[in-house]
Amino acid sequence: MTESTALTPFRIDIPQADLDDLRDRLARTRWPHPVPGRDDPHDFSRGIPLPYLRELAEYWRDGFDWRAQEARLNELEQLTTVVDGQTLHVVHVRSSDPAATPLLLNHGWPGSFIEYERIIPLLADDFHLVIASPPGFGFSTPLASTGWELARTTDAFAEIMSRLGYERFAVHGTDIGSGVAGRLAAVYPERVIGMHLGIDRAVLGLVGAVFPRPDGLSEVEAAELDAILAASAAERGYLEMHNHRPDTIGAALTDSPVGLLAWIGEKFKVRSGDGYGAPVVDRDQLLADVSLYWFTRSGASSAQFYYEGAHSGVMPLMGGPVPSAWAAFDTHPLLRRTMDPANRIEHWSDFTEGGHFPAMDAPELLVADLRGFLRGLS
């Protein structure tokens, strides 16, 4: 059979029974016994601290309004389409200018299309915006098969842009979305107008595994890099589980809302623009994202993306012969020396603010950088 290329309108409508079930599960949470000395809600040295988690869970149960979030998200045009057997969810916001540049926004884990909600109105005058959820994320569920990794997802997203009528478009990405954006630029250079990536100092944790150690480091710089590598190694437990045992952690993330909240909430806390300080990422936006993972059971299915990537043999492609821009948030002097030692990236921006989720914790900076880079490209 020939696969349908239909674009089907989509509206979020979580059954009330699912909301009632979530509230009931939160009310019946079986909490761990407190560990003596672990009563500081700002101490994430062993993971998410119990006092912080309890407060967040209580607000999720009694203060957070999913229906208000749902109504606002439904103001966005949404659709689903089937590519290579997989249903994929897409947000499509058309500019009032028919000649506006199409811009594909790509997210990673533990983000979702909700990650970009606050920059949509800031960009919609200048760009036709497309946000496609990768297989296993959000409403791009359930997974129809195994084998959905970076290369297959990239091809699927290129097909989605064709179905929307966009043969030429710009791309932006963070986290896993950086891999999709980079691969689109490398594999489809005739279609990609420009590639914009958002990174933060967390990528320095990949030095030695993916990126070579910069040459000529001073003793102070070497010590700083070693400290960053140690901090990165200390929080990579989730990555090892996703890469090697997604089924095991997936069962817990699907059955326990507090387990899911801890798994995702820690990353938003420590990787937002102020590290372990007061949250920069808005609490309601964070919980809307966690709720999306809960209602779609994508805590389990999104982890499969990591397993597929770790076992696919597909290497990341960080761009091609197209104009490229890298925006470094929560930057560090070693970032460019590591990622672009020859200074070949023509548009590089350093920001001390922001973090791993710039669309959430530094939206104005991200929007200004995107506009500045894409202005004049066609």
* 8 A C-beta contact, residue 121 and residue 147: no
3-state SS of the chain is CCCCCCCEECCCCCCHHHHHHHHHHHHCCCCCCCCCCCCCCCCCECECCHHHHHHHHHHHHHCCCHHHHHHHHCCCCEEEEEECCEEEEEEEECCCCCCCEEEEEECCCCCCHHHHCCCHHHHCCCEEEEEECCCCCCCCCCCCCCCCCHHHHHHHHHHHHHHCCCCCEEEEEECHHHHHHHHHHHHCCCCEEEEEEEEEHHHHHHECCCECCCCCCCHHHHHHHHHHHHHHHHCCHHHHHHHHCHHHHHHHHHHCHHHHHHHHHHHHHHHCCCCCCCCCCCHHHHHHHHHHHHHHCHHHHHHHHHHHHHHHCCCCCCCCCCCEEEEEECCCHHHHHHHCCCCCCCEEEEECCCCCCHHHHCHHHHHHHHHHHHCCCC
Q: Among this protein's residues, is 126 annotated catalytic? A: no
CATH number at residue 128: 3.40.50.1820
pLDDT confidence bin for 273, thresholds 50/70/90: low
Kindly give the interhelix angle for 298-312 and 237-244, rounded to the nearest 10 degrees: 80
Task: Let me know if residue 142 belongs to a domain.
Answer: yes
Provide the residue type at 114 as one letter. Answer: I
Q: Among this protein's residues, is 356 annotated catalytic? A: yes
The catalytic position among 52, 175, 242, 332 is 175
pLDDT confidence of residue 224: 92
Residue 71 has pLDDT above 80, yes or no: yes
* 8 A C-beta contact, residue 325 and residue 196: yes
Task: Let me know if residue 208 belongs to a domain.
Answer: yes
pLDDT confidence of residue 2: 63
With a pLDDT cut of 90, the percent of the chain lying above it is: 86
Residue 362: partners with Cβ closer than 8 Å, 6 or more residues away: 273, 329, 351, 353, 354, 355
Task: Let me know if residue 288 belongs to a domain.
Answer: yes
- Domains in the chain, number: 1
Q: Among this protein's residues, is 175 annotated catalytic? A: yes
Task: Let me know if residue 2 belongs to a domain.
Answer: no
Closest CA to 329 of 196, 224, 226: 196
Tokens of 108: 């990673």
pLDDT confidence of residue 272: 75
Task: Let me know if residue 1 belongs to a domain.
Answer: no
The mean per-residue pLDDT over the stretch 228-243 comes to: 90
For residues 2 and 183, which has the higher predicted lDDT (pLDDT)? Answer: 183
Provide the residue type at 104 as one letter. Answer: L
Residue 3 has pLDDT above 80, yes or no: no
The mean per-residue pLDDT over the stretch 78-106 comes to: 97
The mean per-residue pLDDT over the stretch 85-93 comes to: 98
pLDDT confidence of residue 231: 86
Task: Let me know if residue 205 belongs to a domain.
Answer: yes
Task: Please write the tens of the pLDDT for every residue from 123-170.
Answer: 999 999 999 999 999 999 999 999 999 999 999 999 999 999 999 999
Task: Let me know if residue 66 belongs to a domain.
Answer: yes
The mean per-residue pLDDT over the stretch 37-43 comes to: 92
Task: Let me know if residue 3 belongs to a domain.
Answer: no
Our measurement of the distance from residue 264's CA atom to the centroid of its chain's CA atoms, rounded to an integer in Å, reads: 11
pLDDT confidence of residue 307: 97
Closest CA to 91 of 128, 143, 141: 128
Residue 20 has pLDDT above 80, yes or no: yes
With a pLDDT cut of 70, the percent of the chain lying above it is: 97
Closest CA to 175 of 127, 89, 101, 238: 238
Domain span holding position 215:
8-30+37-374
The catalytic position among 116, 356, 361, 369 is 356
| Widest Cα–Cα separation across the chain | 63
The reported pTM is 0.95
For residues 234 and 120, which has the higher predicted lDDT (pLDDT)? Answer: 120
The catalytic position among 306, 332, 361, 369 is 306
